Structure formats: structure tokens, C-alpha cells
Structure 1
Amino acid sequence: MQMGSVTTPFGRRPMTLALARRQAALADIRQGKTADKWKVFRDASAAMELLGIQSNSLAVLDALLSFYPENELRQDAQLIVFPSNAQLALRAHAMAGATLRRHIAILVEAGLIVRKDSANGKRYARKDSDGQIESAFGFDLSPLLARSEELEVMAQQVMANRAAFRKAKENLTICRRDVRKLITAAMEEGAEGDWQAFEDIYVALVGRIPRVPTLADVTRIIEEMEMLREEVIKRLEMQEDSRNSSTNAAHHEQHIQNSNPESTYELEPSSGKELGAKPSKMRRPKSEPIKVFPLGVVLKACPTVSDYGPGGAIGNWRDLKSAAVVVRSTLRISASAYQEACEAMGPENAAVAVACILERANFINSAGGYLRDLTRRTERGEFSIGPMIMALLRANGQGSLQAG
């Protein structure tokens, strides 16, 4: 630390090591470095929340910069301004004295300005015989020059976060609309399924959105809302496939009967074992694995799995997948069976399936065999995690989730 560049504050204002370090760092400003003062001010304004300053603090900083005569801050220039409190308050929109002093302290604490106090605490400049400022006491603007690149990066980060937040809110609005209207349509048109349970899950998710959400809040909610939308769509698609299968089978049977109108006997049902016989059950094409329900709903349906999480708790999908690995070993499910489940269902669905098996372990003879069966059914497009979760919720007395 170059102590020669450090000055202590006048009067009762305390000195801190952090302040000393910030002052010493000003001696390391690159030779010839320059920055537009208003560009630096705009960057500081954009990054005000990250800097921990307020709008009034920016008003004071704006006033201080107005006392510096040049538009460009230079490493080789005198960057100390020395207005009186009266002058400074006037340029800061007639700010009250106590408020002015408080926001000056905030700017100092944020590392945007440094006090350079005289022996008596007065702010002034001493000029040489040529009228040039030889030394000055007041507020040093050098930190703005020293941190110009840092402030620019902070401002860019804030703008990127705002854009991401705006996009996330738009996506959440669209996703909410999709889920809301799909569930309503399913209910009004009498589609098969426990649509009230989907309704309860939707209401619970919406109820978790804070009044003033952050990007993290919106990102977390939209991830779960998208999973719910995918499950609703998948459930509707399964019903449509089932309806088409029934229609095609009826049409095929009618065609066979009509193709031999002189036949005097009825066709006997095939056992499916005759030579050349084709399975009567139509298979759905394999679909992309999806995450089914919000993690909170999964944990309500399968509370036992939390005991196997890191530290005896599960806070995110990564924790659930880690717990599933432990449960797999406990239930003697082979690594290959679990790997096949992950490939067919996706890692999240496979972890949920293991959690469901754990919850009903007393009723399952072979956990590994049961998981392999679920994997084969998934590959045929005949399995969804949804009904298992719903059944466990009802078994646990939580078939109707409440928002909160």
C-alpha cells in the first residue's frame, strides 16, 4: 500500500482500511488513461443497485461532475473539485444539507469519490504564481476514472439482466395462458383425467409468484410451469392417440366383416400367439423425455426421498437426482437398469420414478424389475409419470393442493 497517497478524513469521520486501500489504488491508474465523465456517470447510474447507491446519490454525483470544467477525466489532470455545501446543494436540486451529507458519505462508501480534506476541513484550491492549481482539497473524482471499465461492465450486466428479466416475464405470461386455457378446455369438454389436480397444481404455482419477482423467481416458476404445460399436452395427446386407435380398430373390424358378407360365422378373438399374428395393441411413437411435475409437487407425493438428499433435504433437481442414486443402491436396482431409465425417460423423470418406487417399496417385489418395466413402457410411449404422482398424492391425502 502506497501510504503517501492516503489522506485521513477531517473531524469525527472515521478512517477505515478499506478507504485507505481505495485511495492507494488511485496511484495505479494507467498512464494517459482518459474517460468521458458523462459516459462514466451513465454507467454508474445504470449500475446503481449493484453499487448500493440511490437516485439522490446520483444527483449529488451529477452535481460534483458539473464542477469539473472538462468533459474528459484524465490521469494527468487535477481531478479534485471543491464546491461549498451551499453551491453543491443548489446544483443537486436544492437538496437539504443533512440529505446532501448523507449521500456524499454513500458515494464515498461506494468507492466513487474520495474525500481529500484540508487541515481545517475546508474545501479550496491553492494556485501557483502562474494561476494554475497547485493543490486542492475537496472531492477527488479519480475513482471514477480508475473504475471506468468496471462500471461499464456492471452497466452492461444490468442491461443484460433487465433484457433477460423482460423476456422471462413474457415467456411466463405465455406459458400461464397456455396452461390455463388447455386445462379449462379439457374440463369444459369432459376430457378424461384428473384435471382438477392439474388445476390445483397450476393455482399453487401462480400463488408462489412474489408481488415483486426477481429474475431468479421468474426463472424458477417458468421452469415448473413449462413442465406442467408439457404434461398437460402429453396427457391430451395420449387421449387423442387412444381415440384414433379405437376409431381405426373399429374401422378395420368393420372392413373385415364387410369383406366377406356371405360368412355365416363370427370371427373368434385371436389369442395373439398364432403364427403371423400381430399384436392388437397399437404402440405410440417414442416421445422426447420431459420433466413432469414441479419439484415441490414431487416431494409432496414422495416425501421419503428427502431423507436421502444431501444433508437430509432436497432443494433442487440436482439434489433429487443425487438422492435417486443413493435410493437405487438401497433398493438394489442395478446401475444398468437406472441408466436405461435415464436414457428413456430423461434424468429427472428417472429420479422421480425411483422416488415413487421408494414410496411404494413395501408393495413391490423387485424394484429393479419394476423400473425396467417402466423403462420398456416409456420406450413404447405407454408410460407417463403423471398418474404415479397423482396416485401418491391421493394416497398421502394431498390430492387437492392448496396455493401458497
Structure 2
Amino acid sequence: MQTHITTTPFGRRPMTLGQISNQMAARTAKPEAIVHKWQVFQNIREARELLGATDRSLTILNALLTFHPETALTGDAEIVVWPSNVQLMARANGMPATTLRRHIAVLVDCGLVVRRDSPNGKRFARKGRSGEIEQAYGFDLSPIVARAEEFKDLAEAVRAEKKAFCVAKERLTLLRRDIVKLIEAGIEEGVPGNWGRVQQNYQTIIGRLPRSAPRQLLDDVCMDLHALYADIRAELETFTKSQNPDANESHSGRHIQNSNPDPNFESEYSLPKQVEASCTVEETDNVRSLPKRELPLGIVLDACPNLLELARGGEIRHWRDFLAAAEIARPLLGISPSAWREAREAMGEQHAAITLAAIYQRADQINSAGGYLRSLTDRARDGKFSTWPMVMALLRAKLDAQRTAGNAGGPRSERSVGTAPSLRVSEALLKNLQRPKSR
């Protein structure tokens, strides 16, 4: 008995050219084709984003496959299942009926199943006298066989893309680690160079990365980071070769040690004697008699106004802004991260920032800021250093300069110190500033 195989959906559901295309693809299954339905389903699950399927629609497809008793699907047989909505909802973990119908439509639009609707829209099968199925109305699973190779290729493409993404993330992590450590090595080893600018370039490149970046953007950022890494590495290798010229010659060559190194080269571990002598009297002596209260931010800024040029907007309102400006000044002074970390541990974060601001204020008088900071850190550990005399010395020098300018250009108030018009020095502090320096 000849039966008509329906190709249009029941009821108000429209027919589309996409459904016709999917039905044409389902008829391309070769008769000798044999596939493992769960292997194909695994490929579909991995390539679901490329196919346009959702996780809920694949839950329904999984349930539909369970209604077919055979694991192996062939291209020479009708593969139609006809479960009711109640049976489908039970095997789809209790999915609501409205959600079920919506995601069945997704499966049809993706071409994963083909509708075989009966005249009244019910799903059933008509059997012959011998028990074989003559006509079935429900869901045709023949696309699983016809498109098995396509699903496999899509799954392999997705796996390859995931692998490439993981490789790009690993490369990004390694480049970031190498660049940061090489910059720290350059600063700590005293390699000449504008390391502050290098750090800014690094932050600019990293700032292009959003929270979730696609692989193409990762590849572009990695390319720029690799170029920056190559420049830093070349600079460090060039400096290393200049320090050890015999390294590239024969291993048996005699090493010549220079007993009279260049006096102009100074490591931060070797503090110039001139700087030590200039800070011993007014900055480190008589620490026990210093005031026990904290330094006001206004007095510190009046003593170290140069730090304002590094602040955002040229203004410092809170200690938080002051600490941020000190972090910017550190690489500009050539102070290594280790020296800065030790200073903060010995003095505290706020006093270490005040010390760095004072060093930045006198940068033209200090040849090795890193060595100077390490010397003050050692004295702070021994309880022989305080920021009070350092700030007072800067204010006293500023007051002396204002006196000289006042005598040359007319009367000037000695009670106003600095550029801030609202800052007034108390009587006790003014008396301390006017005290003659000890010799």
C-alpha cells in the first residue's frame, strides 16, 4: 500500500525554505551508511553553537534518540520516533510543555530532526498484519545519519579553536610574566634605560584586553607583547655583553677583573659618600627627641611640591592620592621594586611614601636614589631614622630661600611657607625651623 510522506507541518506552523533545505539534506544519506547515534550526538553537542542549537534543545534530542531502540543508525531504513509530549517531558527531566514545543522548533530549524506530522497532528505508527511498521508519524532522525560527517567536521573545528584559545592564553601568561620579571631585573641590576616608559608601554598593551577576550584579540596582544619582550631582552643582553666582553670568546680565555671600575657607575647598593654626609646631621640625628605625632599632609606637600606634577590632575587631596603619586615616582627615580618593598616594610607605607617624595624633591642632588633609600631603610630598622627631620630640613631650606628673596625684592611674611596660601606654620614649628643647624 502506497502512503504519502508528508513534508509540511501541521496546524499554523508555516513551511519555510530552510525546512525544505533540511529535508533535502536528510535524503542524501547513503544506504550503506552506518553511524553510532551517541557518537554523532557527542559531535552535535560540541558543535551546538555553530549549528544554532541550545542546551535545552539537545536535551530533547537526547530524549528522542532514546526512543529508537537501535544504537546503530543506517541510511537504508526509516528512522522515525513518535513519542507523545507527555513521554518526551518525562524523559527531558520534566521540561514544561511550552518549553518543549519551543525547543522542538529549534531542532527543526537547525536541521537536526524533520517533522512527519499526521493529518490530525498526532504522533503514531500504523503497523501491517505481520507487525512491521507501514507508516509512522513523528520525528524523522535521518539527518543524524545524513549529516554525521558534517557534525564530525564541525566538532573538530570547535576542538581546534578551543585548543588554539588555550595556547594563546598560555602564551599571553608567559609573555606577561617574562616582561614583568625582565623589567624588574633591569631596574634592580641598574641597566640604563627608561624603564618607566617601558612599564607604561606594557600597561598600554595589557589595557586593551577586556574581561573576556576572543582568540583573535589575544593573538594581536601577544604579537605586541612579543615585540616588547624582544626589545627588553635585546637591551638586557647588550648590557650583559658590555659588562662581560670575554663571555663570547673561548671558554679557556683568562678573565680580566677590572680593579678600578668606572666611578660614574653607581649601584643602588653603593650609596655615594656625598649624599650620606649631607643627610646625617639634619635628617637622622636626635631621633628620640622628635615629635610623636604624624606629619600633616599639607606640610609634606609644602615641603615636597614636585610630587604634585605626577598626581592625576596635578592635585593631591588625600593620602591615597599621595601614595599613588609616589608609586609613579618610584620607577622614574630608578628605585627597584625590592628596595621599595623593603622601605615600606621598615617604615610603613605612608612614611616610605614621604621619604620617596623627599628624595624626588632632591633628585638633582642625589646620584643614586635606590642606594639612598636602602640606606635610610637600614637606619629605620635600627630606629635611627624619621621622616620629621627630613621634611623639616626641606621646609627650612625653603624658608631660607624665601628670606633671601624677601630681602632682595621687598618685605615678605615669614609665617607663610610654600605655595599654598592657606598653609600657616604654627609658632612651635616656626621656632623649630628657625633653630640654627647643628654642625
Superposed CA offset, 1:146-177 (max 9, x none): 00011111111111222222122112111110
Compute the RMSD of aligned alpha carbons: 2.5
Q: For residues 216 and 23 of structure 1, what CA distance do their matches in structure 2 show? A: 36
1:186 aligns with 2:191: no
**Residue matched to 2:225:** 225
Whole-angstrom CA distance in 2 between matches of 1:32 and 1:57: 29
Take 1:40 and 1:195, find their aligned partners in 2: how far apart are those partners?
56
Q: Say whether 1:67 aligns with 2:77.
A: no
Match of 1:106 in 2: 106
The residue aligned with 1:45 is 45
- Answer with 1 or 2: which has the greater Rg: 2
- For 1:50, the aligned partner's letter is L
In structure 1, how many angstroms separate the alpha carbons of the residues matched to 2:258 and 2:40? 79
1:185-229 Cα shifts (integer Å, max 9, x gaps)? 222333211111111111122222221222222222111111111
Deviations, residues 344-388 of structure 1 (Å, cap 9, x unaligned):
xxxxxxxxxxxxxxxxxxxxxxxxxxxxxxxxxxxxxxxxxxxxx
Note the 1:353-364 alignment, pairs <5 A: none
Distance in 1 (CA, whole Å) between partners of 2:15 and 2:39 is 30
Partner amino acid, structure 1, of 2:15: M
CA distance 1:121–1:6, shift in 2 (3 Å): closer
Determine the C-alpha separation between the residues in 2 that align with 1:110 and 1:197: 53
Find out whether 1:16 has 2:16 as its counterpart: yes
1:81 and 1:113 map into 2 onto residues whose CA distance is 10
The answer on 1:144 being equivalent to 2:144 is yes
Q: Deviations over 1:306-348 (max 9, x none)?
A: xxxxxxxxxxxxxxxxxxxxxxxxxxxxxxxxxxxxxxxxxxx
Q: Matched residues in 2 for 1:22 and 1:242: separation?
A: 70
The answer (yes or no) to whether the contact 1:64–1:81 under 8 Å persists in 2 is yes
Letter in 2 for 1:233: R
CA contact (8 A) 1:107 1:113 kept: yes
Name the stretch that deviates more: 11-20 or 182-191.
Answer: 182-191
Q: Does the CA contact (< 8 Å) of 2:124 and 2:137 recur in 1?
A: yes
State the Cα deviation string for residues 76-133 of structure 1 (Å, max 9, x = none). 2221111111110110111111211111111111111111111111111111111111
Question: Match of 1:28, SS?
Answer: coil
Q: Provide the C-alpha distance between the structure 2 equivalents of 1:161 and 1:79, rounded to a whole number of angstroms.
A: 33
What is the CA-CA distance between 1:252 and the residue it aligns to?
11
1:225-246 deviations in whole A, cap 9, x for unaligned?
A: 1111111101212223344469
Equivalent residues in 2 for 1:82-93, closer than 5 Å: 82-93=82-93
Return the offset for 1:144: 0.9
Pair 1:30 & 2:53 matched:
no
Give me the whole-angstrom Cα distance separating, in 2, the residues matched to 1:252 and 1:160: 55
CA contact (8 A) 1:6 1:24 kept: no
Amino acid at match of 2:159: M
| Mapped pair 1:204 → 2:201 | no
Taking the TM superposition and a 5 Å limit, the aligned residue runs for 1:245-394 are none
User: Distance between the aligned counterparts of 2:233 and 2:101, measured in 1?
Assistant: 60
Residues of 1 paired with 2:258 and 2:70: CA distance? Answer: 91
Report the Cα offset of residue 70 of structure 1. 0.6
Structure 1 residues 189 and 123, CA gap change in structure 2 (3 angstroms): same
| Unaligned ranges ≥5, structure 2 | 250-255, 260-439
- One-letter amino acid matched to 2:93: H
Q: Secondary structure at the match of 1:135?
A: strand
SS at match of 1:151: helix
Question: 2 CA distance for matches of 1:163 and 1:66?
Answer: 32
- Aligned residues of 2:31 and 2:74 also touching (Cα < 8 A): no
| Distance change >3 Å, CA 25–CA 51, structure 1 → 2 | closer
In structure 2, the residue matched to 1:257 is none
- AA matched with 2:80: I
Change (3 A) 1:22 1:48: same
Count of matched residue pairs = 250
Distance 1:239 1:253, change over 3 A: closer
Q: Aligned partners of 2:258, 2:222: CA distance in 1, in Å?
A: 46
3-state DSSP of counterpart to 1:120: coil
Residue 158 (structure 1) aligns with: 158
**1 CA distance for matches of 2:226 and 2:258?**
40
Distance (whole Å) between structure 2 residues aligned to residue 13 and residue 31 of structure 1: 31
Equivalences for 1:96-135 in 2 at 5 Å?
A: 96-135=96-135
Instruction: Give the Cα separation in 2 of the matches to 1:127 and 1:32.
Output: 25
How far apart are 1:5 and its partner, in Å? 6.4
